[in-house]
Amino acid sequence: KKVLLRVENLVKYFPIRAGVFKRIVAWVKAVDDITFDVYEGETVGLVGESGCGKTTAGMTLLRLYEPTSGRIIVDDEDTTYYFMPKFKARRYLKKTYVDKFKSIESNKLTGIDKKYYELYKKFGENEFYNKLLSNISEKRSEFRKTMQIVFQDPYSSLNPRIRIKTIVSEGPVLHGVIKKSEVIDKVKSALEEVGIHGDHMYRFPHQFSGGQRQRIGIARALMMNPKLIVADEAVAALDVSIRSQVINLMIDLQKKHNLTYIFISHDLSVIKYISDRVIVMYLGKIVENASKKELFDNPLHPYTKALMSAIPVPDPEFKKNRIILKGDVPSPVNPPKGCRFHPRCPVAKDICSKEEPKLTEVRPGHFVACHFPGSL
Ligand code: SF4
């Protein structure tokens, strides 16, 4: 399968400012060096407690936040510099590619590095920058079309004073996906695709239920013909019965349009239902990444095990050993040294507070960041 999105060493820190001069006094390390791939047509579940960085990761890869560092590759193109001012973008390209090309033997380069090396070799340094920096506004617009988001709260994400027709069509018109003359037809078919009567496009958001508003949010994303949709707690605010309808709708739309999803949720049972692969985050780091089956059959990180033990079981006869973690999630301003989970980990040893465990492939396709995987 083709990699649609590659997130490499992504970091997002937010400054905390204080005093008269609003000096930076500390950093919130919301996302701290995460790397993962998303394949075309799959659903990746991003799970963790609130404050683990999953929403920040989603917003940063969509460039609703500018990354602090790292690389975001979409469809074999580096998109990291698309939203930077030109001088910064050039500096980024020099640091990420040209400096590397000068210091590493070309036969050691792989993937996008190799592809950009060919460009560099053919055109020379200046033309290399010019080529990558040309048509930057078209590139940005293409990126905005390709990557869409569906938010948690359908009410606050739809402007209450604007009719559905405008809400659903303004993005696609702005990005040239549809012409003004096509608005009525396209909005009608997008609404009908998500199970809402086309004539309802003249209504306002308050005239719809929560589930219908979420469907409208999905229709709005679909209008852009995206490849990837980030669904950020998209069903968390809905009643349980409505929740499964919306999830099933998303699964149907995925098949029909070959969509790729990143499904962000704190709810492991929702993640289990919809995902092909699951990434577990804790305090800004990825702690485990595996196919759904592998992760649920054979969880290796103590934190994943604790999360799983908290899923409610419908059968009261079947009692699980619930793993209760000590204390709360520490602050992302001063995360613990070594393994960030060590103050709460039931099986922590000396090394855990000293050395940070690296995300390592311990079984084929199963990555875990723990010095003692599977020990709980
Ligand atoms: Fe627990 Fe140590 Fe593994 Fe961290 S590295 S999860 S503290 S056993």
Cβ distance 342 to 353 under 8 Å?
yes
Q: Enter the tokens of residue 265.
A: 């949720």
Q: pLDDT at position 239, please?
A: 87
154 falls in which pLDDT band (50, 70, 90)? low
Q: Tell whether 245 is covered by a domain.
A: no
| CA dihedral of 243, 244, 248, 250, whole degrees rounded to 10 | 20
Cβ distance 42 to 2 under 8 Å?
no
Q: Tell whether 325 is covered by a domain.
A: yes
The CA 297 to ligand 1 mean position distance, Å, reads: 20
Cβ distance 150 to 214 under 8 Å?
yes
CA distance 146 to 70: 20
Closest CA to 55 of 70, 41, 43, 65: 65
Q: What is the pLDDT of residues 201-211, one digit of tens each?
A: 999 999 998 89
Q: pLDDT at position 319, please?
A: 58
pLDDT at 315 over 90: no
Q: What is the pLDDT of residues 259-291, one digit of tens each?
A: 999 999 999 989 999 999 999 999 999 999 999
The CA 359 to ligand 1 mean position distance, Å, reads: 12
Q: Tell whether 168 is covered by a domain.
A: no
Q: What is the pLDDT of residues 157-197, one digit of tens each?
A: 778 889 999 999 999 999 999 999 999 999 999 999 999 99
pLDDT at 27 over 60: yes
Pocket test for ligand 1, best of 286, 326, 362, 370 (most atoms within 8 A of CB): 370
Q: pLDDT at position 151, please?
A: 87
Q: What is the pLDDT of residues 196-239, one digit of tens each?
A: 999 999 999 999 988 999 999 999 999 999 999 999 988 888 88
Q: Enter the tokens of residue 159.
A: 């402007």
Q: How do 23-39 and 3-18 pair as beta strands? A: antiparallel
Q: What is the pLDDT of residues 88-122, one digit of tens each?
A: 999 999 999 999 999 989 899 999 999 999 999 99
Q: pLDDT at position 152, please?
A: 81
Which atom belonging to ligand 1 lies closest to the Cα atom of 287? 6
Atom 7 (ligand 1) nearest CA: 342
Predicted structure pTM score: 0.94
DSSP label at 4?
E
The answer to whether the CB of 362 is under 6 A from ligand 1 is no
Q: pLDDT at position 314, please?
A: 66
Q: Tell whether 179 is covered by a domain.
A: no
Beta-strand ranges (E) seen in the chain are: 3-18, 23-39, 43-47, 69-74, 77-78, 147-150, 228-232, 260-265, 277-282, 285-291, 360-363, 366-368
CA distance 37 to 195: 32
Q: Tell whether 299 is covered by a domain.
A: yes
Q: Tell whether 320 is covered by a domain.
A: yes
pLDDT at 156 over 80: no
Q: Enter the tokens of residue 147.
A: 């990557």
Q: pLDDT at position 121, please?
A: 95
Q: Tell whether 344 is covered by a domain.
A: yes
The residue range of the domain holding 91 is 86-134
Q: pLDDT at position 4, please?
A: 97
User: Average pLDDT in the 59-66 region?
Assistant: 96
Q: Tell whether 129 is covered by a domain.
A: yes
Contacts of 80 (CB under 8 A, 6+ apart): 67, 70, 71, 72, 73, 92, 96
Q: How do 69-74 and 77-78 pair as beta strands? A: antiparallel
Number of domains in the chain: 2
pLDDT at 37 over 90: yes
Tell me the percentage of the chain whose pLDDT exceeds 70. Answer: 97
The CA 349 to ligand 1 mean position distance, Å, reads: 7
Cβ distance 194 to 219 under 8 Å?
yes
Q: Enter the tokens of residue 313.
A: 């079981």
Domain end residue (candidates: 101, 134, 167) = 134
Cβ distance 150 to 224 under 8 Å?
no
